[in-house]
Amino acid sequence: MPVALRSRSSRKIIGRIALYLAVAWFTFYAAFPFVWMLITAFKRNSDLYNVKNNPFLFNQPPTLEHMRLLFEGTPFLRWLWNTGFVGLMVVIITLVAAVPAGYSLARLARAWGRRLGIAIFLTYLVPPTLLFIPLSRVVAELRLQDNLWALVLVYPTFTIPFCTWLMMGFFKSIPGELEEAAMVDGCTRLAALRHIVLPISVAGILTVTIFAFALSMQEFTYALTFISPSSQKTVSIGVPTDLIRGDVFYWGSLMGGALVSAVPAAILYSLFLDRFIAGLTAGALK
């Protein structure tokens, strides 16, 4: 075998090994939190708090006592229901507002569309810690304190700006000639949007849906400010506030709650990963 060919083959093998090692490292890095939550959620307290034991192994038989405390000692199922309800309502409101707004900025606003899009996106960058005080006054005036509808009202204030900006970029990637051809054939602009643009925009709409639901699920500051009764809490505040009592941390139940609420979200991301990436990169141009 020629020296040049042998050298090229060696570099190829080394490159592939390096690629596999990098993928293995990132896979371990991404999966480790789930493994840690799984181990901690089923460890006995005597095993969990013994510093001499290996924290990555079950040194004693697994137990369900932490999961029993989570499901029977707290309204965890109610928290899951509240989280799903708030997330669903926020997604609906975000789609109703962001899709037409993004389309208008991309197609109808002309030169002002880009400037307005940037201005809308900048509002998303305002930290929640600066807004929860004035928003709490709004919630109090509307008498929505300690009510899930307070979160439904507040969360779109930070999902709509980013999602509008995202949809605007996505609609810009769709050739305008498609709508013009539809309107030449007799469609109105609304009909062209409904029959031509929206079917092509499924990846972007799915991205907005996942983004809005994920933000609603993990948001902490507003939920902690506006919700006090345990029965009205979402998972993001119910698990840490009810399972940390003074200086006592129920680590097994905390990890169990995090695991149960994180696994469905992880599965959802995995099922729609390709479309989610396509939506983020505005990849609908055919």
pLDDT tens, residue by residue, 23-49: 889 888 888 888 899 999 999 988 888
Nearest to 147 by CA among 76, 231, 239, 90: 231
- Return the percentage of the chain with pLDDT > 70, whole number: 90
Does residue 92 surpass a pLDDT of 90?
yes
**Per-residue model confidence (pLDDT) at position 285:** 44
CA-wise closest residue to 265 among 235, 243, 237: 235
Residues 84, 57: Cα–Cα separation, whole Å:
34
User: How large is the average pLDDT for residues 116-128?
Assistant: 74
* Mean model confidence pLDDT for the chain: 83
Residue appearing with tokens 């037409």? 100
Q: Is the pLDDT of residue 113 over 80?
A: no
Q: What is the pLDDT of residue 284?
A: 40
Q: Is 133 exposed, middle or buried (0-12, 13-18, 19+ CB in 10 A)?
A: exposed
Check whether 94 has a pLDDT greater than 90: yes
Rg over CA atoms, the chain: 24
Model confidence pLDDT, tens digit, residues 79-91: 999 999 999 999 9
Beta-ladder partners of 136: none
Quote the pLDDT of residue 91: 94
The 10 Å CB-count burial string (b at 16+, else e) for 4-42 is eeeeeeeeeeeeeeeeeeeeeeeeeeeeeeeeebebbbb
Taking residues 234-246, report their average pLDDT: 88
> What pLDDT, on the 0 to 100 scale, is given for residue 118?
75
pLDDT tens digits, one per residue of 188-219:
778 887 888 888 888 788 888 888 888 888 88
Given a cut of 60, is residue 283 above it in pLDDT? Answer: no
- pTM (2 decimals)? 0.81
Residue range 55-82: average pLDDT?
90
pLDDT at 89: 95
pLDDT for 179: 77
Residue 76: what pLDDT?
Answer: 92
pLDDT at 268 over 80: no
